Amino acid sequence: MYQEKYMLRAIELAKKGIGAVNPNPLVGAVIVKNGKVIGEGYHVRYGELHAERHAFANLTEDAEGADMYVTLEPCCHYGKQPPCVEAIVEHKIKHVYVGSDDPNEMVSGKGYEYLRNHGVKVTTHVLKNRCDEINRVFFHYITTRTPYVVMKYAMTMDGKIAAYTGESKWITNEVSRMKVQESRNQYVGIMVGIGTVLEDDPQLTCRIEGGRNPIRIICDTRLQIPETSNIVKTAAQVPTIVAVGDEIYETSSDKIEKLEQLGVKIIPVGMVDGHINLRELMGILGEMSIDSILLEGGGTLNYSAVMQGIVSEVHMYVAPKIFGGKDALTPVEGQGVDTPSLAKLFDLETVEKIFDDIKVVYLSKNRYRLPETFVDREQFYNNWDEDTLSQLSVMVDEKATAPYSTCCYKEDELWHIAGTNNDDELIVVESGDEAYIFTKLDKLVRLKISLRDQRDLLDIDELMEQLT
Ligand SMILES: NC(=O)c1ccc[n+]([C@@H]2O[C@H](COP(=O)([O-])OP(=O)(O)OC[C@H]3O[C@@H](n4cnc5c(N)ncnc54)[C@H](OP(=O)(O)O)[C@@H]3O)[C@@H](O)[C@H]2O)c1
């Protein structure tokens, strides 16, 4: 379990970069020699040292022969910083333990290859799920080049985001609202529709001391934003983008000039159904290095965002209140789907109690996913008894060491769990281009399959039936 302990520390360090490293990933690194931590680091700020080099800069003794735990595959290309793999080799690190693979084409697999070619042992996928979790934004952005959109709303128990009069201050408690401020510090942009600007005249800034204001993005097809609005009045201090329909852009040069003088950046965007084409807008914002957006509605814009498939994550805050009112607004308005079978689907991620409020995080079923999904190793241990686990590791490799600490551990190659069925009666483990299926029936059954077949295993329960 010591590997997990150091990787958990590396994850903790990585999170210190939240809000400061975008569009780079959050990365943490820990260097350990003779059971003692001799260096720690993380990617502190965009353009500055990467986690590995930061950890080397903090060394308390020579790193020769030490192990390094790093949450993401070390980079091997020249960007704003020189490649980390070179620093690892120069410092004569013996063994590198990595959490997440880097899907960035310039790095993917090449970081491992460089290290192995230079005699450094590499163990991949240590606490992979946990490491992947902290970089959802980066993985989405690096592979799609569009921002990761988090739709946030606060509603009453009866699903209203404002009273029928339009008044919405306040729905949730202060602590919930502080969490939203943290999100504003975390994500690079914040987006609302012109309806919210006209109704609430918000500032959309980050009110955390020392926090960073997000770039404000207003979807305003007809360029209705008042020059007297708080958004425009503060545009010289807080970066502000107004997305305008391309047809309207062509005919509004006077207002555009005035707004630009006040510090607003106006972007012309194509239109869909008379409104901003959000997918096109996401492409434009991605090119501007905006890797993440907190979408704060209202319901009209939220509906389009969900329907156009740009929402990857939802943060729903619910307060213990009822407003009632058939005309009171809901978080997602628009026309709606014709039948429940056409609903947009989400996976429940977390539920958090915030005094009397709750915060629920959902992930879109259509979100970008890393190529494989892995079950949480902790969940795995809880569901399999020790005897079964040791049999399992022996079956994978008779020389297996540390059967529980790293699942099926085979020298410096990690066999990781690729999937389980719903009842955890069957698991698939894989390493390199091999995968094995184990069942927990009367006896364990091993079936060797190719990784390609394993990837095609869409329904693990169906496979279970075939095996029984
Ligand atoms: N409790 C909460 O969490 C919360 C959060 C936000 C807002 N609110 C409340 O919501 C109310 C405002 O709701 P709303 O629905 O009118 O505001 P909205 O969604 O912020 O704005 C809607 C407007 O955005 C423009 N828009 C531009 N591109 C769009 C697109 N692709 N799809 C849809 N709309 C697009 C549309 O006008 P054009 O096309 O003409 O530009 C549309 O009328 C306020 O009362 C506010 O207090 C509550």
Q: Return d(Cα 49, Cα 47) in angstroms, integer.
A: 7
Per-residue pLDDT at 393: 45
Nearest CA to ligand 1 atom 17: 195
> What are the beta bridge partners of residue 149?
293, 311
> How many residues are there in the chain?
468
What string of pLDDT tens digits covers the 468 residues of the chain?
577 899 999 999 999 999 999 999 999 999 999 999 999 999 999 989 999 999 999 999 999 999 999 999 999 888 777 899 999 999 999 999 999 999 887 888 889 999 999 999 998 888 888 899 999 999 999 988 999 999 999 999 999 999 999 888 899 999 999 999 999 999 999 999 999 999 899 999 999 988 899 999 999 999 999 999 999 999 999 999 999 999 999 999 999 999 999 999 999 999 999 999 999 999 999 999 999 999 998 899 999 999 999 999 999 999 999 999 999 999 999 999 999 988 999 999 999 999 999 999 999 987 776 644 333 444 444 555 555 554 444 343 333 222 222 233 333 444 455 555 445 455 555 555 555 555 543 334 444 444 444 434 334 455 555 544
Report which ligand 1 atom has the smallest distance to the Cα of 334.
Answer: 33
Per-residue pLDDT at 394: 38
Does residue 298 have its Cβ closer than 6 Å to ligand 1? yes
Nearest CA to ligand 1 atom 25: 193
Ligand 1 centroid to residue 134 C-alpha, Å: 30
Report which ligand 1 atom has the smallest distance to the Cα of 192.
Answer: 20
By the 8 A CB rule, do 268 and 245 touch? yes
Report which ligand 1 atom has the smallest distance to the Cα of 277.
Answer: 31
Does residue 245 have its Cβ closer than 6 Å to ligand 1? no
User: Which is catalytic among the residues 40, 48, 52, 73?
Assistant: 52
Ligand 1 centroid to residue 328 C-alpha, Å: 14
Q: H helices within 397-442, ranges in order?
A: none
Per-residue pLDDT at 444: 40
Q: Return d(Cα 7, Cα 167) in angstroms, integer.
A: 47
Ligand 1 centroid to residue 244 C-alpha, Å: 14
Report which ligand 1 atom has the smallest distance to the Cα of 333.
Answer: 15
Nearest CA to ligand 1 atom 38: 221
Per-residue pLDDT at 117: 93
Does residue 429 have its Cβ closer than 6 Å to ligand 1? no
Mutate to test the pocket of ligand 1, among 161, 167, 180 (most ligand atoms within 8 A of CB): 161
Ligand 1 centroid to residue 178 C-alpha, Å: 23
Ligand 1 centroid to residue 194 C-alpha, Å: 6
Written as six digits, the tokens of 263 are 């510090």
Per-residue pLDDT at 251: 95
Mutate to test the pocket of ligand 1, among 219, 249, 293, 311 (most ligand atoms within 8 A of CB): 219
By the 8 A CB rule, do 422 and 410 touch? no
Eight-class DSSP state of 235? T
Residue type, 5: K
Per-residue pLDDT at 385: 52
Ligand 1 centroid to residue 114 C-alpha, Å: 50
Residue type, 151: M
Active site residue 372: no
Per-residue pLDDT at 20: 93
Q: SS3 for 322?
A: coil
